[in-house]
Amino acid sequence: MSQRTLNSLFNPKSIAIIGASNADRKAGNVIMKNLLAGGFSGPIMPVTPKYQAVQGVLAYQNIEALPLIPDLAVICTAAHRVPAIVETLAQFGCKVAIINASGMAQEIDSSGIDCLTQAKQYAKKYGMRLLGPNSLGMILPTLGLNASLAHTSALSGKIAFVSQSAAICTTVLDWANNKGIGFSSFISLGDATDIDFDELLDYLGRDSKTSAIMLYIDSINEKRHFLSAARAAARNKPILVIKSGRSVEGTTAAKLHTGGVVGNDAVYEAAFRRAGMLRVNDLIELFAAVETLAHSSALQGERLAIMTNGGGPAVLALDELMLGGGKSSELDTQTYDKLNALLPSTWSGQNPIDIGGDADANRYTAALKILMDSDIADAILVLHSPSAIGDSVDIAKAMSAMISTHPNRNRVNILTNWSGEDSSYLARKHFNQAGIPTYRTPEGAVGAFMHMVEYRRNQKLLQEVPQSIPVDIPTDSQRARGLLQKAHGAGKRILETHEASQILHAYGLKTIDTHFADNTEAAVAIANRIGYPVAIKVQSPDIHHKSDVHGVMLNLANAEEVASATDRIIDRVKGLNEHARIEGVIVQKMALTAGAQEIRVAVINDPVFGPAILLGEGGSEWEPTKDAAVALPPLNMTLARYMVIQALKTNKLKDRHLPLGLDMHSLCVMLTQLSHLVIDCPEIASLDLNPVLCAGVDVTLLDVNIQLHDCLEENNNRLAIQPYPKELEQHAVLKNGDPIMLRPILPEDEPKHLAFDNSLSDEDRYKRYFGVRSKMTHEEMAVLTQIDYAREMAFIATAKQDDGDEITLGAIRASIDPDNTEAEFAMAVRSDHQGQGLGRLLLEKLIAYYKQNDTERLSGFTMFENRSMASLAKRLGFTVTFDMEEQLIRMDMDLKQ
């Protein structure tokens, strides 16, 4: 991947159109017309042997005849001709090509290789990038560039739109032009065979011309690259995503559309949420959200005030707000008094603020000014229903003029809903032109506001510091993996409770006392040994849900009952399923269920995102999309808590408020430990804990089913999000003999890292931050401790104090460019621990890490005053140069030598 070649896509100086045409309805004709109409300032060079000129522009017979190497080529030919064109363009030195043709994967040449594979091979060989095939093209309004097959161009704005569907592109374009909403870039990915969402997100996340990003997704190819790029971009700007295939049928259609892998929609939802993106469910929601993004400032809070000239629409808006989990503003005394003095005595006296059906432009404007002057709301929704008294356009104009000059216009977001059609159309058009979000319905306006709220909540979640897991809970991966591999070697592919308990115990997960008996006498002997009451369950590899075949008997109080139950269960199951292999029965100590609640937890292996953790109600039948909250590992305590809250909020999990019911902390510990188990043990294909008994602080796994992969292969890429790299932990000793730990930073380190940063002397802070720097805020420190190990690394040195508490002594961090070409580092050591060799240990560790990571270069800067840092770098093999103009010392190391 190369972000540098993407510069040629986003900033081309010259364009060649291969297959340009004067014939109507040909792709080469539409592209030429759009390019010429857009006002692109660079050379536009048609390539075709058929014409001397295309659209009045001199044409070239072939690619080799071009007077200069184009930055961007648009290939408008049939699929079978594309590979040869790609090869010639790439050899010629062109950096990026857009391919319009569809069906390339189905076109097979005489050697049996499809056209798509050939084109990709040629492009890769010569370092050229491809957008498409099956791409509508792209529009960059700021450059006057319309290299697309779209029927219209795009207005200039601050939103980037990237879509896998050409039809969605043209629909969004039509709507946006009608609304006066513009774009920084408008890109049709097509089949995304080369340039994909991840690279575009990396570029757009850094693009100063883009303030928000919208994605239309059919399927994801590179899960880890996609989520890493999305998480990085979403920290800086909102990302809205509409994903097709919410139903099983829709998913199948999406697969046919793009040829991508079909994944579970609920897992996609979890992935989007984890990355800090906002999902919208349909085009209407997408349009409403775009409207908000185009014209709104970031929310300062969540309180919404509603102002209206009619009660009904305001009630609809308030219902939508409260049912969606929003917050309604409350009037303070001062604001109430001001409104009371202005409005008729019949006004509502509370939020929603009903200013009367006869409200004119003056009343609307004065009431809105009072609300904007106050501090009662973070956003105000102004509703208007058609009235014979107040002209809707006059009111819109008066309001817009007042809003544009109000000192709080960037602090308080204003949203409008002018209901109706003909009488309201001109007013809505005026709001569009004035840059004030406007919606056709009250519910649509509130829905758009709630997207802003959800984005704000997601950002706050990303900044939360996770609680540490209790230190006495084990994570013995060696023991668990040894047991799993032994079972696999013995031919086992399914492990039930009695076989899985020791594996689960290695992670502090509690199971009920469970044993296998192959006959009635053995069952009675086990029951006598473990004590009554017991449960008897049929054991068969062919029966997944024992209760469905009446293969479970509970509360057996003595040997006679156990013997009778065992015989009856085996006879009954044989009668219901004569082909089932019955190995024997499971004898289980009865759990004390009085006052406790049963839930279900599972791990599935999603074909797109890999392992995913599911949480819901107990029971034999569940559909993950409908019945479970879903989260991607790795989980920490904060993410586990968020998962439980999501499950409760969406009714996937019901808190029955039993005497010994759900304990949030204990449930989160269990989910976090389960996440560790899944991360550490690639042997596990899936896992079902049904039921799990929650009895306050006691969480017990009653019935366990672990499925193993047929083939045991180490697959470090199976997880969508790279987990904490425990293998990089290292013990070391300072010059004074003190033992320390060098390890990657964790989100839980935030409070101690803040204390470490505050402990630096003024001089050390000056050297570290290249100037005077005030103390870090919690939000800033959260960004530094919650890192994405797939694209950055921070190592810290910690030491145990006499009281057993851990203290941070030093830190080194480096972020890497998306091409894995260069990592830039910065380092700081606690002022009272300098001179002990700590800086050397940290820098050596970072060098070793990036060498192993196949990064090409490691570089860093330090101030002239920090000669000790420059000397250390020189001793470790860096090339040290002095930049007299910037007054900085530059340190560079070639990691490939």
pLDDT in tens, 91-108: 999 999 999 999 999 999
Is the pLDDT at 564 greater than 80, yes or no? yes
**Predicted confidence band of residue 659 (pLDDT cuts 50, 70, 90):** confident
> Quick one: which of 524, 603, 628 has its CA closest to 566?
524
1-135 domain in CATH 3.40.50.720?
A: yes
Distance CA 809, CA 838 (A): 8
Given phi > 0 = left and psi -120 to 50 = alpha, else beta, which region is 823? Answer: beta
Helix axes 361-373, 333-342, angle to 10 degrees: 170
> Quick one: which of 696, 679, 699, 514 has its CA closest to 603?
679
The number of beta carbons lying within 10 Å of the beta carbon of residue 863 is: 18
Q: What per-residue confidence (pLDDT) applies to 266?
A: 92
Q: What per-residue confidence (pLDDT) applies to 15?
A: 98
3-state secondary structure 639-666: HHHHHHHHHHHCCCCCCCCCCCCECHHH
- Please name the amino acid found at residue 841: L
Distance CA 742, CA 799 (A): 9
- Please name the amino acid found at residue 709: H
Q: What per-residue confidence (pLDDT) applies to 257?
A: 44
Task: Say which CATH class 154-286 falls into.
Answer: alpha beta
Distance CA 80, CA 305 (A): 60
Q: What per-residue confidence (pLDDT) applies to 621?
A: 75
At 22, is the secondary structure helix, strand, or coil?
A: coil
Is the pLDDT at 435 greater than 60, yes or no? yes
Domain ranges of the chain: 1-135, 154-286, 296-462, 469-508+591-723, 513-589, 726-894
pLDDT in tens, 672-688: 999 999 999 999 999 99
Phi/psi at 670 (nearest 5 deg)?
A: -60, -45
**Predicted confidence band of residue 246 (pLDDT cuts 50, 70, 90):** low
> Quick one: which of 614, 685, 688 has its CA closest to 653?
614
Distance CA 134, CA 98 (A): 9
| Residues in Cβ contact with 561 at an 8 Å cutoff, skipping those fewer than 6 apart | none
Token representation of residue 610? 């890999």
Q: What per-residue confidence (pLDDT) applies to 432?
A: 87
Edge-to-edge strands, sheet with 739-744: 730-733, 739-744, 792-800, 806-816, 822-829, 857-863, 888-894, 879-883
Place of tokens 């044409």: 59
The stretch 611-622 carries a mean pLDDT of: 86
> Quick one: which of 809, 842, 841 has its CA closest to 825?
842
Is the pLDDT at 469 greater than 80, yes or no? no
For the domain spanning 726-894, the CATH number is 3.40.630.30
- Please name the amino acid found at residue 30: V
Q: What per-residue confidence (pLDDT) applies to 845?
A: 97
Q: Minimum mean pLDDT among 66-75, 260-269, 585-594, 782-791: which range?
A: 260-269
| Residues in Cβ contact with 472 at an 8 Å cutoff, skipping those fewer than 6 apart | none
The stretch 443-454 carries a mean pLDDT of: 91
Helix axes 283-295, 166-179, angle to 10 degrees: 50
The stretch 304-318 carries a mean pLDDT of: 96
Is the pLDDT at 248 greater than 80, yes or no? no
Is the pLDDT at 256 greater than 50, yes or no? no
- Per DSSP bridges, beta strands 730-733 and 739-744 are antiparallel
> Quick one: which of 254, 279, 256, 253 has its CA closest to 266?
279
| Radius of gyration of the chain measured on its C-alpha atoms | 32
Helices and strands in the chain, H and E counts = 28, 40
Q: Minimum mean pLDDT among 35-49, 390-404, 531-545, 717-731: which range?
A: 531-545
Give yes or no on whether 296-462 and 469-508+591-723 have one common fold: no
- Per DSSP bridges, beta strands 183-188 and 137-140 are antiparallel
Phi/psi at 248 (nearest 5 deg)?
A: -60, -45
Q: Minimum mean pLDDT among 48-57, 264-273, 360-369, 472-481: which range?
A: 472-481
CA 490 to chain centre: 40
pLDDT in tens, 474-525: 889 999 999 999 999 999 999 989 899 999 999 999 999 889 999 999 999 9
Token representation of residue 97? 């090509």
Q: Decide if 605 contacts 681 (C-beta within 8 A).
A: no
Task: Say which CATH class 513-589 falls into.
Answer: alpha beta
Distance CA 73, CA 55 (A): 18
Is the pLDDT at 1 greater than 50, yes or no? no
Contacts 24+ apart (CB under 8 A), 141-144: 141/182, 141/183, 141/184, 141/186, 142/184, 142/209, 143/11, 143/12, 143/40, 143/41, 144/38, 144/39, 144/40, 144/41
**Predicted confidence band of residue 115 (pLDDT cuts 50, 70, 90):** very high
Torsion over CA of 874, 877, 878 and 879, rounded to 10 degrees? 80
Within 13 Å of residue 59, how many CA atoms lie on the same side as its CB? 22
- Please name the amino acid found at residue 599: I
How buried is 545 (Cβ within 10 angstroms: 0-12 exposed, 13-18 middle, 19+ buried)?
middle
The stretch 155-177 carries a mean pLDDT of: 92
Place of tokens 């797109």: 608
Distance CA 524, CA 508 (A): 30
How buried is 656 (Cβ within 10 angstroms: 0-12 exposed, 13-18 middle, 19+ buried)?
exposed
> Quick one: which of 584, 499, 572 has its CA closest to 536?
584
Q: What is the mean pLDDT of the chain?
A: 90
Q: Determine the straight-line distance between the first and last CA of the chain, rounded to whole angstroms.
A: 22
Cα distances (angstroms) measured from residue 533 to each of 157, 553, 608:
71, 11, 45
> Quick one: which of 527, 504, 695, 604 has its CA closest to 537?
527
Is the pLDDT at 251 greater than 70, yes or no? no
> Quick one: which of 161, 198, 189, 169 has its CA closest to 275?
198
Q: What per-residue confidence (pLDDT) applies to 110?
A: 79
DSSP 462-501: HTPPPPPPPTTS---HHHHHHHHHHHHHTT--EEEHHHHH
Q: Decide if 816 contacts 854 (C-beta within 8 A).
A: no
Q: What's the CATH number of domain 469-508+591-723, 2.40.160.10, 3.40.50.2300, 3.10.20.340, 3.30.470.20?
A: 3.30.470.20
Q: Which CATH architecture does the domain made up of 296-462 adopt?
A: 3-Layer(aba) Sandwich (3.40)
- Residue with more model confidence, 829 or 778: 829
Rounded to 5, what percent of the chain is helix, strand, coil? 40, 25, 35
Q: What per-residue confidence (pLDDT) applies to 466?
A: 73
The stretch 392-421 carries a mean pLDDT of: 94
pLDDT in tens, 887-897: 899 999 999 88
> Quick one: which of 605, 608, 651 has its CA closest to 629?
651
Token representation of residue 71? 């930055």
Q: Decide if 116 contacts 160 (C-beta within 8 A).
A: no
How buried is 739 (Cβ within 10 angstroms: 0-12 exposed, 13-18 middle, 19+ buried)?
exposed
